[in-house]
Each structure stands twice: as structure tokens, then as C-alpha cells.
Amino acid sequence: MIGLLNQQLVDAIDLKPALEQAHWNVLGPEFIALHELFDQIAAQIEEHGDTMAERVIQLGGIATGTTQTVSKSTSLPAYPAEATAQKVHLEALREQLAAFAKSCRKAIDEADQAGDADTADIMTGISRAVDKDLWFLAAHLE
């Protein structure tokens, strides 16, 4: 479970700067709505990371969240650093959040199979929140 949680933690840590990149650089007619949405999602992702890191410690492990670890271990696609257009940010964030959501659901299954109901519950809560954020992003692409 420690390895599983640390992988999820790495991906959450990688996701937060992508959201900040979008928050800082998004341009277009929906600027303020997206600027605020990206900020809200980033804050939630940070909370999810804290929850996962704390669970790692509870299980006797060491949470791995250095930038060096994240850059080597993330499973998320690279974020387009030069993006400014709303649609580009929304599509890139949707891709990253969808990948994170998928890995959260996989983590739920693995925790259930391992008999760790608490980790499965934590990941279920995170999965539910990420799916809601994904829905909010997708609504701007319709």
C-alpha cells in the first residue's frame, strides 16, 4: 500500500503545478471563471496529496514528494508549458485529471484486494472529488 499511495502522491504533486501553470497563463473570454476553477482544483489536489502522504506515514512508510522523485516517477502526461489558450489548458488538464482519476480507481481496486479498507476509502473519496473536477473542466469544453 505504501508504494501504491506514493505513486498516487507523486501524480498529485505533478498535477498541482500543471493546474497552477494553467491558472497563471490562461487567456480568453472565460479567464476569471477558469482562473478561479484551476485555483480551486489545485487546492483540492494539494489536500488529496496531504491525505495520501499521511496514510503512508500511518502505514509505517516514508512519503516521497520531492521534485526529483516526482520528475522521475510521475505517470501523468507532460503539460504544455507554452499554452495560453483556454481550450489548450482545458484539454491538457482534462487529460491529466482523467489519467489521475483512472489511477485512483485502480488504487481502490488494489487496496480492496489487499484488504486495506481504509486506503480504499481514502482513494474512493479522492476519486469522487477528481471525477467532479473533471466534470467541471469538461463542461467548459462543450
The predicted-structure confidence for 12-45, as pLDDT tens digits, reads as follows 999 999 999 999 999 999 999 999 999 999 999 9
Predicted confidence (pLDDT) at residue 142 exceeds the cutoff of 90: no
Position 64 confidence tier, pLDDT thresholds 50, 70, 90:
very high
Work out the end-to-end distance of the chain between its first and last CA atoms, rounded to an integer number of angstroms.
38
Q: What domains sit in the chain, N to C, each tagged with a CATH number?
A: 2-139 (1.20.1260.10)
pLDDT of residue 19: 97
Predicted confidence (pLDDT) at residue 71 exceeds the cutoff of 90: yes
Cα 59 off chain centre by: 22
The pLDDT mean for the chain works out to 96
Predicted confidence (pLDDT) at residue 73 exceeds the cutoff of 90: yes
Degrees, nearest 5: CA angle 92-51-8:
45
**Cβ pair 130, 76 in contact under 8 A:** no
